[in-house]
Structure 1
Amino acid sequence: MHAPGTDIEARPARRRSTLLVAVAVLAAAFNLRPALSSVGPLLTGIIAETGLSAAGAAVLTTLPVLCLGLGAGLGPWIMRRIGPDAGVLAGLLAVALGLALRAPGSLPPLFAGCALAGLGIGLANVLLPVMVKRDYPASAGRMTGLYTMTLCLGAAAGTGLSVPLREALGGWGPALALWCLPAFAAMPVWLLLARRPSHQPAEARAAGRPVRLHRDPLAWQVTGFMGLQSSLAYIMFGWLPAVLEGKGLTPLEAGFTASIMILGQAPGALIVATLAARGRDQRGWIAATLAVIVATFLIAAFGPDVTLIPASIALGLALGGIFGLGLTVIVLRAPEAVTAGSLSAMAQGIGYSLAALGPLGFGLAHEASGGWVLPSILFIALAASSLACGLGAGRARHVGPRP
């Protein structure tokens, strides 16, 4: 039996620990998109300065997304050996170093830095849902919404500030590398978490045995939905500024408009994830959000200029909402934290590898056609495929053995 007052005395310590985890999760989330979103606004300038072909640009926007999948596949192995807290710290270190590599402003370090940052982002992506399920089991939807919102804020900052930073620093290399600073700044709090006695590797090995889900149809539906909806966002990160420049906007105007779109993802992620998690079934949210994404993208790409800003805001809200739904179904379809880790690794490891085909295909379709109609048809097809998987992933069921 516990001594009288023991539980009462332990409550402040538990609250402090929970608050520390919240701060750490949000600090990490901010750094999981600038490596991806900061390239798009500078892509036209990079092509002009380096002679990079359209196919090379497609590879550049695809490479970090592909590496996200590879990094996510390392998640269960890392969690078993050093625990999720130290695993996220390792991921942040890889992100920071990858961002710093881009400073010289030439193609080899740009590609290498994007690949390394993508590996780190993929690793952290997989482990953060584990921590949400572990530390916030009663409020997983709200916490998922908060960290997804913060992630979207980081993406918006990367898009909106890249062109001004290039002008201020005198080149696209330093502008891209500067994003390593917030990644390094987030590491001290994760170092504190990784050193907590309750999260030493022995415990992580005991609790982190993977749950095999590769024969579970629901797990594959979650994986397909995560990958396909992510491909829509990565197409927007990498190519929306170029689409808008094709309409006659300057690079600064296109980057600003894209940043408005990405900034809109923050409230969309928080609101949709929080509300959808309150229900047992998320299929209606998935269908409605994907419909808004397709409609607003077509308006932004081909509609009159007067509709551009409203359409971009609505597109951002919907993209944030669908990404929040992707992470939410991972948490809700898992009965506990260990299964959440296995499902997160599968959904993001395989899913992000699938998502990498989106920006690659979009860029190749643009090179083949010389315009944006064929890429837009591909975008619609990806949204339809995402809906097909989402209608399965949104059902009120759990992955794993069923009674």
Structure 2
Amino acid sequence: MPSRRWGHHPAVLVAGILLIAMNLRAPFTSVAPLLESLQQALGFNATAAGLLMILPLLAFVIVSPLVPRLARGLGLERSAFLALLIIALGIVLRAQGSVLALYLGLALVGAGIAIGNVLLPSLVKRDFPNHIALLTSCYVLTMGIMAAIASSTAIPLEQATTSGWRFALVAMLVLPIITMLVWWPQLSSRTAPLIACAPVARSTSIWKSPLAWQVTIFMGFNSLVYYTVNSWLPTILADSGFTAEQAGSLHGVLQLASAVPGLVLVPLMPRLKDQRMIACLAPGMSLAGFIGLLLAPEWALAWVILIGGGAGAAFILALSFVGMRSRNSSQAASLSSMAQTVGYLVAAMGPPIIGGMHDWFGNWQLALMVCVGACALMACFGFLAGRNLQLPE
């Protein structure tokens, strides 16, 4: 069994999971603070910038359904290494200075992140079935901390050299390189393919399950909210009178706030009979933050903390639901693929639509109201997904 193979070195696997998690947001979130510079250098309007930001999300949609088959063929460890390699190639390509390279590079980054996003819940389910909530919270915390560092340092890195935004983008290359070096020794052993862990769950049964759809829609609305605010928060704040440095720092606060719920959910979730209450409270926090940003933007720090905290808690819940609602690692991979495929398809609609609303109306009011509505719907589906149930065999 794979768990026995790793049984002698659980700390190595945990460290690898956390390092991989560092690569699953930072290369993407580091772009948003640089959007204004990219628009000026390459001639984007808000709609085109929104389309740029959805390229990784579209890559998620295309690649996520393919990951279970990839994992069954290569094994989880080798598939994870491939994800890191693709992310590294995308980071290098997007910093070459042309529009085409920027678009293709971001698409590659998204493809690598998609593979990692699908693999990690299945890896946790396979090797740590009794600690799903704990490890999920830990790697989401790590993911958020690194994303916060990437966001808050993007503008200083841009200003540090004459290469400007190109240097700020390529600086993220250090993450996949370090992770690949640490992960490399795992490739020397024969990794059992995922199919050996359990019979493969038929995708048709997953797609026909109401519970699977409840988990999927909950993740979808959370992804819509998170990636929309992640893409446009610096611009929204700049239009409200904040400087680029202040907007970048608050964008970093958003990432950090999204990581903090892990500290609370780690001890809390094992004690809960089910997750219905917390699955309603999390989107409620984000809803309150969007209303505050709409009515009193001068208090942006408080609203950003609420939005990030709510989105981070919902993200941890969505990933935990993948493990908690599935019966084995193969079923977890199928549910993870479904939830992330549909979820990121929904999320991909956010940035360009919100950017288009800004271009059409000249302000962010309607866009923020859309986010409020998405949070309300997320709470409804969170209540359903939070019940203590599992998918059928």
TM-score when normalising by structure 1: 0.91
Query: 1:304: how far off?
Result: 5.1
**Corresponding residue for residue 181 of structure 1:** 174
Are 2:210 and 1:211 aligned? no
Aligned partner (choices 279, 285, 301) of residue 272 of structure 2 = 279
Alpha-carbon contact 1:105-1:172 (below 8 Å) kept: no
Query: 1:220: how far off?
Result: 1.0
Are 2:337 and 1:345 aligned? yes
Alignment of 1:103-142 (within 5 A): 103-142=95-134
> Using the alignment, how far apart are the partners of 1:278 and 1:68 within structure 2?
33
> Structure 1 pair 357/48, CA: closer, same or farther in 2 (3 Å)?
same
Query: Matched residues, percent identical?
Result: 32
> Structure 1 pair 302/100, CA: closer, same or farther in 2 (3 Å)?
farther
Aligned partner (choices 253, 271, 283) of residue 246 of structure 2 = 253
> Using the alignment, how far apart are the partners of 2:85 and 2:196 within structure 1?
22
Are 2:258 and 1:231 aligned? no
> Structure 1 pair 136/205, CA: closer, same or farther in 2 (3 Å)?
closer
**Corresponding residue for residue 75 of structure 2:** 83
Give the counterpart letter for 2:168 in structure 1. Answer: A
Structure 1 runs of 4+ aligned residues shifted over 4 Å read 11-16, 203-208
**Corresponding residue for residue 382 of structure 2:** 390
Alignment of 1:307-322 (within 5 A): 307-322=299-314
Query: 1:58: how far off?
Result: 1.0
> Structure 1 pair 342/304, CA: closer, same or farther in 2 (3 Å)?
closer
Give the counterpart letter for 2:177 in structure 1. Answer: F
Query: 1:69: how far off?
Result: 2.1
> Using the alignment, how far apart are the partners of 1:280 and 1:75 within structure 2?
32
Aligned partner (choices 327, 334, 338) of residue 319 of structure 2 = 327
> Structure 1 pair 90/13, CA: closer, same or farther in 2 (3 Å)?
closer
Give the counterpart letter for 1:80 in structure 2. Answer: R
Aligned partner (choices 144, 154, 157) of residue 152 of structure 1 = 144
Alpha-carbon contact 1:269-1:323 (below 8 Å) kept: no
Secondary structure, aligned partner of 2:9: helix
Give the counterpart letter for 1:128 in structure 2. Answer: L
> Using the alignment, how far apart are the partners of 1:274 and 1:222 within structure 2?
22
Alpha-carbon contact 1:76-1:208 (below 8 Å) kept: no
Give the counterpart letter for 1:186 in structure 2. Answer: T
**Corresponding residue for residue 56 of structure 2:** 64
Alpha-carbon contact 2:54-2:352 (below 8 Å) kept: yes
Secondary structure, aligned partner of 1:249: coil
Alpha-carbon contact 1:227-1:348 (below 8 Å) kept: yes
> Using the alignment, how far apart are the partners of 2:33 and 2:40 within structure 1?
13
Query: 1:117: how far off?
Result: 0.5
Query: 1:312: how far off?
Result: 2.2
> Structure 1 pair 125/255, CA: closer, same or farther in 2 (3 Å)?
same
Aligned partner (choices 215, 239, 242) of residue 235 of structure 2 = 242
> Structure 1 pair 190/209, CA: closer, same or farther in 2 (3 Å)?
farther
Gaps of 5+ in 1: 1-10
> Using the alignment, how far apart are the partners of 2:145 and 2:309 within structure 1?
12
> Using the alignment, how far apart are the partners of 1:348 and 1:223 within structure 2?
7
Are 2:367 and 1:375 aligned? yes
Give the counterpart letter for 1:180 in structure 2. Answer: L
Alpha-carbon contact 1:33-1:155 (below 8 Å) kept: yes
**Corresponding residue for residue 24 of structure 1:** 16
Secondary structure, aligned partner of 2:81: helix
**What is the aligned length?**
388
**Corresponding residue for residue 192 of structure 1:** 185
> Using the alignment, how far apart are the partners of 2:144 and 2:372 within structure 1?
23
> Using the alignment, how far apart are the partners of 2:24 and 2:122 within structure 1?
16
Higher alpha-carbon deviation: 29-38 or 385-394: 385-394
**Corresponding residue for residue 66 of structure 2:** 74
Alpha-carbon contact 1:32-1:154 (below 8 Å) kept: no
Alpha-carbon contact 1:130-1:338 (below 8 Å) kept: yes
> Using the alignment, how far apart are the partners of 1:180 and 1:255 within structure 2?
20
Secondary structure, aligned partner of 2:103: helix
Higher alpha-carbon deviation: 375-384 or 188-197: 188-197
> Using the alignment, how far apart are the partners of 1:369 and 1:395 within structure 2?
41
* Deviation readout 1:205-227 (Å, 9 max, x if unpaired): 67472432111111111111111
> Structure 1 pair 13/226, CA: closer, same or farther in 2 (3 Å)?
closer
Secondary structure, aligned partner of 1:178: helix
Gaps of 5+ in 2: none
RMSD: 2.0
> Using the alignment, how far apart are the partners of 1:231 and 1:277 within structure 2?
28
> Using the alignment, how far apart are the partners of 2:293 and 2:130 within structure 1?
39
Are 2:46 and 1:33 aligned? no
